Amino acid sequence: MIRAFLSVLNVEKGEEKPVLLLLGHGFFMGIFLATYKSVAETLFLNNLGVYLKEALFISGGLGLLSTSIYAYIQSNISFNRLLVLSLITIFLFIATIRALFHYVDESPLIFVLFIMHGPIMSVLLLSFWGIFGRIFNLKQSKRIIGGIDSGQLLATILAFFSIPFINKLLNETTDLLIIGEIGLIASGAFMIVIVANYSLGTIGQRRMEVKEETKMGNLIKNKYVLYLALFLFFSMLAFTFVEFSFLSVAEQQYPDEDKLLNFLSVMNGSILVLSLLIQTFVNDKLINMYGLRVTLLVLPVVLTILTILSIATGYLFGFTVASTSFIWFFLFISGSKLFTQSLREATENPVFKLFFMPLDSNVRFDIQTRVEGVVNEFSRLVAGGAIFLLGIFTFIELIHYSIILLAIIAVWFYLAIRIYNNYRVSIRTKLEKKRKEAEEHEERGRELVLRLLLKQVESNTPERIIFALKMLSKISPQDFETQVYKLLNQQLRSFGSQSALEHLKEDESFVAFKNILFKNGLKEEDTLRKRIENLEKKADKLHEQELIDFLHSIGEDEKIKLAEYLGNIESDLSMKLLTELLADINYSVKKSALTASGMIRHQEMLPFILDALQDDLLKDSAIDALISYGTEAFPNLESIFYSAELHEDLKLDVINIYGRVGGDEAIRLLWQKIDYPNYKVIAHSLRALGFCGFRANDDQILRIKTSLESDINNILWNLVAIQTLENDPQYDFDILIDALREENEANNNHIYMLLSMIFDETSIQLVKENIESRTSEGITYAIELLDVFLPEDIKQKIIPILDDLEDEERVKRLQVYFPLFAMSTEQIVKYVITRDYNQTNRWSKACAFYYVGMYPFKTSFEMLEIANLFNPDWLIKEMAAWALYQRSTDLYFEHINRLPKIEAQRLNSKIFSRSESVDFQQSLVFYVIKFLKNRSNFSDLSGIFLSNVSDFIKEVYIEKGTVIEKEDRDDDSFFWVYNGGLQLRSTDQEVLQSFEIGDFIGEILAGESSEAADFYVVENTVLLQIDKNRFYELVSNDIDITFQIMRAMDVHNKKTLVES
């Protein structure tokens, strides 16, 4: 029952104890406040009602004094001690007043009791909400603030409605104070338990500068705090005017003490009932659906309507008890009191407290105390003084206070809008401050990767330098060139930089580095230049055969130098020579010629570059050259993009070129492909638009929103699928569940990118960084920032995706907008296979086929398996064939022969059990990916990325005892040890490094000795091999993957890319 009650209050696991303690503390505090208020108001109105104006003025002054003292003491002693001191002082005051009623004249005591009601209530509420703010963070506060004081409300309601009955059993009205004292003692007991169990802040944690910052003069200089204070000032001003009007009409309507007590008790009880209903059923929904601004404006709007009705009925039917229709004026004034106080307690007060959250936590509570305490009571003082002064003028009547109230509400309404706008600015400032405070922890994206790469270049480890330079050549050629020149021109090189440079000079595949070496030594190379100058002198009479003879007369290295030289001059001769170099049989020469063509950017060279784009070995250089051409190459690229026979990968290359070139023309061409009938083209186009800094206009926003909703729908479907698979009582689906979770992470990143196309990119980046910080406060402020700038039609769909919620709650919120029907486990697996590729990626589909083959599902999957035998994606083809073989060997043999013979043989060799006579059998690609995820140092990378890597991996079998000498090593490839093991030994057989299953063999550079070291295969071994350049290309195409790999390198610092 308690759990059900707490769930209504949105209390989550782990929050039960503090919430129950606060509810108990508030419950008994509510009993005290109800009895005290009833006694004070009844006795005053019946005996001293004529002094109401003066009493309100004095009460405001005392409230200002008491809260000022409270704020001062709070800055000088611990909050725990302040709580106890406040409660003891209030208890002694009430006990003394009640005792004096038997010995002295009642009138002064009644007056004191009435004027102290406001100050005492302020101190108790400051203490209650001070406890709440110190125990719960912003995220928790926003969720449970609407119901945390429900204990106080419930007790106060019970007390108010019980007073008419209890009063009949008492001799004196003042005897109700005894019940209040009992409630105060019980409330104190709960407070002591809270103080004993929770650290609420000590004076030792405060600094002198914090005291200085929270002085009233300094607070006024803070624009945001000033607006907070002004808002509360006018809110309390309006409330006091309503209170005065209500007490005045109540005194006239009920001159009898018992009737007045009963009316005030029922009225106050009704206020709290309405307040409790609004808190329980309306407040949270109002905040979630319409936001803080609308919630803050509800009370001024409602009060405006009721005040206008009060004025109208007052003038029409009379506003004094002498009028026969006075009841109408009385009802609307009472209605104003009813809704003003209930809405103020249920909506405005809880929401207003949230506006303090962006303030620095070191000063937040001091500021909150001064605003809610001192400013609140100062407002009561000003209101009381205004009412008192207005009462001096005989022509001012009761209805005129309602007219003045309208002017107060107008200012109040304006301040509500201003405070919300400043709240948005403060949230943003808070996020930026948090980012600066934790820059290393929260920094993400391209800037962080570049910074880390540049830091690696400055290290003394050659392996780190090599990896960093190769990645820089892909990600930032300008930084790459700067760093290489810096290393080359160092007078005193470290061992690491010297070793790295010597290794790179021998790396023939690293063309970018070779080109820089040529530039750096060009001044010393005069012979080649003179020969070219001689050719230029007779360029008009030069025959083609002479050019051919010239090129045949020079070696490969000179051809590369020639290409580099031609990239720096523009002439007909350079065009002719580059054309011949592009036809050279040596790929290093071709790559240098492509680079030079990109430097001179002649239109005549474009056809040759576009041809090279279709050669896997030349693609990288061709792409770099086309990027150098910029928009000049776009018409040619558009032509080949829409060529029917062009392979999908080349279309994606064209899109990536547009994204890297950027500019308005690139954005225009990319946007044209947003509806292209290929999910990969659409995904890459959106990503390229993000690289270009694309901002959608009004016509384009609708299409971006459609993509957003598609991502959200995919996330929701995956969440429902994960829940279904996790709850399956019979089978485990861990691999598929992980794959679907990875898809949701990718969808989240896509959502950030799409949002940055519609909204301020800096704000979206702040949101992303703070959510990825994984801290409660960071996530909370990020969601708050989204809440203030996202429109309602997007907000309710995006926030559940990005907020730190349980998956069940996330699904519950999203299904309102994207309803899904319940699915069985087998239906989930089937849908994963059949869903479109823009909804479910190839890795998840492969995982689904894996479980189809593993488990004896009752659902028939044979038709899906047979259909996917003809899937062009080899990963899916393999898994469909494997699953079909596991479920029905007859169907497998019946349909495998429909495939081309080579494909059928390849599948058979992988699927059939290995014969004892066969030492090595190729693995299914699925198992290779699974190995990389579970056993290698890249286990943190996504399955979809590793599946893309696996497309270029081949297995290499090496027998035990094999020695791989340095000259036989394939230094153009990287390897993983898939099975077996090998050692890197020096010439004197010292083991420099051992490589076991899962280890990565990258740049072999452990020192000078490794250059002459050999590999010894200590047992039959299988290696997974991938071309270095292909691997770097795959990594550099995704900044997030690059970042993850670099993090992995730091963790696995002995046998990874960095130090293997």
Q: Does the pLDDT of residue 439 top 60, yes or no?
A: no
Would you say 435 and 770 are in contact if contact means Cβ atoms under 8 Å apart?
Answer: yes
- Tell me how far the alpha carbon of residue 557 is from its chain's centroid: 52
**pLDDT for position 357:** 72
Q: What is the pLDDT of residues 160-186, one digit of tens each?
A: 788 788 877 777 778 888 888 898 999
- Asked if residue 194 and residue 87 are part of one domain, the reply reads yes
Q: Is the pLDDT of residue 83 over 80?
A: yes
Token pair belonging to 554: 């020079």
- Spatial CA neighbour of 231 closest among 457, 496, 39, 416: 416
Q: Distances from the Cα of 474 to the Cαs of 102, 362, 1034, in angstroms?
A: 91, 46, 10
Report the C-alpha dihedral over residues 881, 883, 887, 888, rounded to 10 degrees. Answer: 0
Contact 884, 895 (CB under 8 A): yes
Q: How many CA atoms lie within 13 A of 647 on its CB side?
A: 8
Kindly give, in sequence order, each residue whose CB lies less than 8 Å from that of residue 826, ignoring residues fewer than 6 positions away.
857, 858, 859
Selection from 196-205, 375-384, 778-787, 1004-1013 with the highest mean pLDDT: 375-384
Q: Is the model's pLDDT at 207 over the cut of 60?
A: no
DSSP 542-610: --HHHHHHHHHTS-HHHHHHHHHHHTT--SHHHHHHHHHHHT-S-HHHHHHHHHHHHHH--GGGHHHHH
Rounded to a whole number, what is the largest CA-CA distance in the chain? 130
447 in a structural domain: yes
Residue 66 in tokens: 């008491």
pLDDT reported for residue 454: 79
- Separation between Cα atoms, residue 306 and residue 316, nearest integer Å: 15
Q: Which residue has the higher pLDDT, 433 or 759?
A: 759
pLDDT level of residue 242 (50, 70, 90 thresholds) = very high
Q: What is the CA radius of gyration of the chain?
A: 39
- By DSSP bridging, strand 1000-1001 and strand 973-985 are antiparallel
Q: Which two tokens stand for residue 1047?
A: 């993090």
Task: Compute the average pLDDT of residues 130-139.
Answer: 76
Rounded Cα–Cα distance for residues 43 and 49 (Å): 9
Distance (Å, whole) CA 845 – CA 926 = 11
Backbone angles phi, psi at 34, to 5 degrees: -65, -45
Q: How far is CA 371 from CA 122, 351, 382, 589, in A?
A: 12, 15, 15, 75
3-state secondary structure of 977: strand
Whether 654 contacts 634, CB under 8 Å: no
729 within domain boundaries: yes
Read off the DSSP letter of residue 1019.
Answer: E
Q: pLDDT tens digit string along 60-79?
A: 888 888 888 888 888 788 88
Pairwise CA distance, residues 622 & 638, whole Å: 16
Examine residue 362 and state whether it is found in any structural domain, yes or no.
Answer: yes
Tokens 């980046």 locate to 765
Confidence band, pLDDT 50/70/90 cuts, at residue 714: very high
Task: Tell me: do 82 and 130 sit in the same domain.
Answer: yes
- Contact, 423 vs 93, CB < 8 A? no
Determine, yes or no, domain membership for 827.
no
CATH code for the domain of 958: 2.60.120.10
Q: Is residue 777 part of a domain?
A: yes
Q: Quick one: pLDDT at residue 1006?
A: 39
Q: Are 779 and 139 in contact (CB under 8 A)?
A: yes
Of residues 343 and 483, which shows the higher confidence score?
A: 343
Q: CB-based burial of residue 169 (10 Å sphere; 0-12 exposed, 13-18 middle, 19+ buried)?
A: exposed
Q: What is the pLDDT of residues 879-905, one digit of tens each?
A: 999 999 999 999 999 999 899 999 999
Task: Please say whether the beta carbons of 865 and 852 come within 8 A.
Answer: yes
The conformation of residue 914, written as its DSSP 8-state character, comes to: P
How many other C-beta atoms are found inside a 10 Å radius of the C-beta of residue 568? 12
Task: Give the pLDDT band (50/70/90) at residue 623.
Answer: confident
How many beta carbons lie within 10 A of that of residue 13, not counting itself?
8
For the entire predicted model, the pTM comes to 0.66
How far separated are the first and last CA of the chain, in Å rounded? 60
What average pLDDT score do residues 306-312 get? 94
Query: Where do the H-state alpha helices sit in 278-363?
Result: 284-317, 326-343, 349-354
53-57, 400-404, 523-527: segment of lowest average pLDDT: 523-527
pLDDT confidence tier of residue 1022, bands split at 50, 70 and 90: very high
**774 and 867 together in one domain:** no
Average pLDDT over residues 542-571: 66
CA gap 332, 87 in Å, rounded:
37
Q: How many CB atoms lie within 10 A of CB 969?
A: 14
Where a domain ends, among 677, 704, 723?
677
Residue % of the chain over a pLDDT of 70: 82
Helix or strand or coil: residue 521? helix
Give the Cα separation of 723 and 720 in Å (integer). 5
817 found inside a domain: yes
Residues 393, 475: one domain? no
Count how many domains the chain has: 7
On whether both 277 and 373 belong to a single domain, the answer is: yes
Q: What is the predicted pLDDT for the residue at 201?
A: 61
Q: Across residues 626-637, what is the average pLDDT?
A: 88
Q: Which of 633, 237, 553 is nearest to 404 (CA)?
A: 237
Asked if 118 contacts 60 with a C-beta cutoff of 8 angstroms, the reply is yes
892 shares its domain with 1001: no
Residue 1053: predicted pLDDT: 43
User: Kind of pairing, strands 1014-1027 and 973-985?
Assistant: antiparallel
Contact predicate 691/663, CB 8 Å: no
| Residue 1015 backbone dihedrals phi, psi, to 5 degrees | -90, 135
Q: What is the pLDDT of residues 482-524, one digit of tens each?
A: 888 787 777 667 767 777 777 777 666 666 676 666 556 544 4
Q: Is 918 exposed, middle or buried (0-12, 13-18, 19+ CB in 10 A)?
A: exposed
Q: What is the mean pLDDT of residues 372-388?
A: 86
Cα–Cα dist 420/355, whole Å: 8
Cα–Cα distance measured from residue 428 to residue 841, given in angstroms and rounded to the nearest whole number: 36
Rounded CA separation 59/57 (Å): 5
Residue 512 within a domain = no
Are 430 and 452 within one domain? no
Encode pLDDT of 212-226 as tens digits.
Answer: 555 556 666 778 888
Q: Are residues 312 and 355 in the same domain?
A: yes
Give yes or no for a contact between 353 and 141, defined as CB atoms under 8 angstroms apart: yes
Domain co-membership, 162 together with 249: yes
Residue 382 has a CB neighbour count (10 Å cut-off) of: 18
Whether residues 174 and 310 share a domain: the answer is yes
pLDDT band at 205 (very low <50, low <70, confident <90, very high): very low
Q: Evaluate whether residue 1056 is within a structural domain.
A: no
Q: Which of 958, 1005, 992, 990 is nearest to 977 (CA)?
A: 958
Q: Band of the pLDDT at 1059, cuts 50, 70, 90?
A: very low
Least confident stretch, 504-518, 615-629, 726-740, 895-909? 504-518
In whole numbers, what is the pLDDT of the chain averaged over residues?
A: 81
- Highest-scoring range by mean pLDDT, 329-343, 370-384, 413-427, 451-465: 329-343
| Residue 150 confidence class, pLDDT cut points 50, 70, 90 | low
Give tens-digit pLDDT for 278-298: 877 787 777 766 777 888 899
Residue 11 near residue 144 (C-beta atoms within 8 A): yes
What is the per-residue pLDDT for 524?
A: 41
Q: Tell whether 862 and 778 lie within a shared domain.
A: no
Domain limit, last residue, from 397, 414, 436: 436
528 has pLDDT over 60: no
Tell me which residue range forms the domain holding 593: 522-597
User: Is there a single domain that holds both residue 442 and residue 338?
Assistant: no
**pLDDT for 499:** 76
Domain boundary, last residue among 650, 677, 704 = 677
Q: What is the CATH number of the domain that holds 146?
A: 1.20.1250.20
Lowest mean pLDDT among 14-28, 436-450, 639-653, 662-676: 436-450
